């Protein structure tokens, strides 16, 4: 007899016959499944109490002389120009891409310096006395990555 179950046909009924080692394996497997269906919760976690609220994310203010870094997110507002106003991501090369203007170097500038640069570029070609404001929406300067 081989390791595979042997089917026996007795009086039109099918029965499966297994070797003794297969019976032990199947019995162990059934016991494992039956144990997983226990009617009580396991472990040391108390399920009858509510969990504590998660810690609030700390808000850190950036210094005035913070230099824009790659992967920062900037909020740029141009007065009376909805098309140019919005959130812009600084790419890995340190540039932002604005409509009409194209790519502008933003890395290693403060928000005031970028504000002046955009005011100059927009004022030279598109607007008379543009009012531009630049703010840091998200900073990558304090991001810590933990790998396990």
Instruction: Provide the pLDDT for residue 91.
Output: 93
Instruction: Provide the pLDDT for residue 42.
Output: 64
Instruction: Provide the pLDDT for residue 5.
Output: 42
SS3 sequence, 84-118? CCEEEECCCCCEEEECCCEEEECCCCCHHHHHHHH
Write out the residue limits of the CATH 3.30.1950.10 domain(s) in the chain: 73-138
Per the CATH hierarchy, to which homologous superfamily does domain 73-138 belong? Answer: wza like domain (3.30.1950.10)
Higher pLDDT, 136 or 3: 136
Structure tokens at 67: 């230099």
Query: Which pairs count as long-range contacts for 121-126, CB under 8 Å and 24+ apart, including other chains?
Result: 122/78, 122/84, 125/100, 126/100
Instruction: Provide the pLDDT for residue 128.
Output: 87
Span 95-148, pLDDT tens digits: 999 988 889 999 999 999 999 999 999 999 888 888 999 999 988 876 666 776
Phi then psi for residue 107, to 5 deg, are -65, 145
Nearest to 118 by CA among 138, 88, 143: 88
Higher pLDDT, 28 or 67: 67
pLDDT band (50, 70, 90) for residue 77: very high
Nearest to 98 by CA among 134, 66, 139: 134
Structure tokens at 45: 């976690």
DSSP state of 12: T
Span 6-44, pLDDT tens digits: 444 444 455 556 566 777 788 777 777 766 665 666 667
């Amino acid at each position: 007899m081989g390791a595979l179950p042997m089917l026996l046909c007795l009086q039109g009924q099918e029965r499966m016959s297994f070797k003794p080692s297969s019976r032990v394996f199947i019995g162990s497997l059934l016991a494992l499944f039956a144990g997983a269906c226990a009617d009580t919760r396991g472990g040391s976690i108390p399920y009858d109490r509510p969990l504590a609220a998660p810690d609030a994310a700390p808000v850190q203010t950036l210094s005035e002389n913070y230099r824009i870094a790659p992967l920062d997110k900037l909020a740029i507002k141009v007065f009376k120009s909805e098309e140019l106003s919005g959130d812009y991501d600084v790419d890995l090369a340190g540039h932002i891409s604005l409509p009409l203007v194209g790519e502008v170097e933003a890395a290693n500038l403060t928000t005031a310096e970028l504000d002046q640069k955009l005011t100059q570029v927009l004022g030279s070609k598109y607007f008379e006395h543009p009012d531009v404001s630049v703010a840091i929406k998200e900073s990558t300067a304090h991001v810590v990555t933990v790998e396990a």
